[in-house]
Every structure is written in structure tokens, then in C-alpha cells.
Amino acid sequence: MFKNPFSFSGRIRRTEYGLSYLIYIIILFSFIWATEGTGTVGSFIYVIVYLGLLWFLLAQAAKRCHDLGNSGFYLLIPFYFLWMLFAEGTYGPNRYGINPKHMGNDKEINEIGKPNADL
């Protein structure tokens, strides 16, 4: 869990996406509270931290879109983030990578010992 959290490639499960969203909210509100009334320096620190958090959340959301078999541009759909929290990911590998639950990734291994229909 949380391998390459700032990368936009790959797939993640619902659990990792939900935890990412919670981490984002907790850190965001902590920095809002901590930088309240601190002036220009506090505002500058808040902006830097916010940009990092935004990158983290967008990367995790794009990977969750990939798990559903969709492009990261689906994030532009209003309230799609709610669908990503509850929808089951694509079974087996898709064009974005292998299934993070490792379900359906072993198709070649399951075919060992079975008669070849191509002969």
C-alpha cells in the first residue's frame, strides 16, 4: 500500500484511495488550523503544502480511475470521486496494469496442464 503515492501510473484499491482521501483531509485541516493568523509566511507555507497535497490526491485518484478501467480525465466528472470510493475495480489486468487485489492476474498459470484448443 502507498507505493509511489505521487505517481500517476498504475492501479490502487478502494481502501488505499479512501485512506488517501482521509490523509488529505486531515493534513489540510491541520495546516489550515496551524497557519491561521500567521501572516504572509504562514500563507506561503500553506500554499506549498497544499500544492503537494493536491498532487498526492490527484495522483491517487487517477490510479483509482485506472483500477476501474477509465482514464484519469474521468476526474473531471462531478462527484465521480464518490463512485470511486464504492465501485469494484476491473477483474484481472487491464491496460493500466495488473489487478491490485491479484484476482485474475494468473490466467497463464491456470492454463497449465489443460489441453491446447489451438491444435
How do residues 37-67 score in pLDDT, each as one tens digit?
Answer: 788 888 888 889 999 999 999 999 999 999 9
For 49-75, what is the HEC assignment? Answer: HHHHHHHHHHHHHHHHHHHCCCCHHHH
CA distances from 41 to 29, 37, 50, 52, 73 (A): 18, 10, 14, 17, 34
The answer to whether residues 64 and 19 touch, using CB atoms and an 8 Å cutoff, is no
Burial class of residue 61, CB neighbours in 10 A (0-12, 13-18, 19+): buried
Could you give the percent of the chain with pLDDT greater than 70?
A: 86
Q: Residue 117 pLDDT more than 60?
A: no
pLDDT tens, 70-91?
999 999 999 998 899 898 888 8
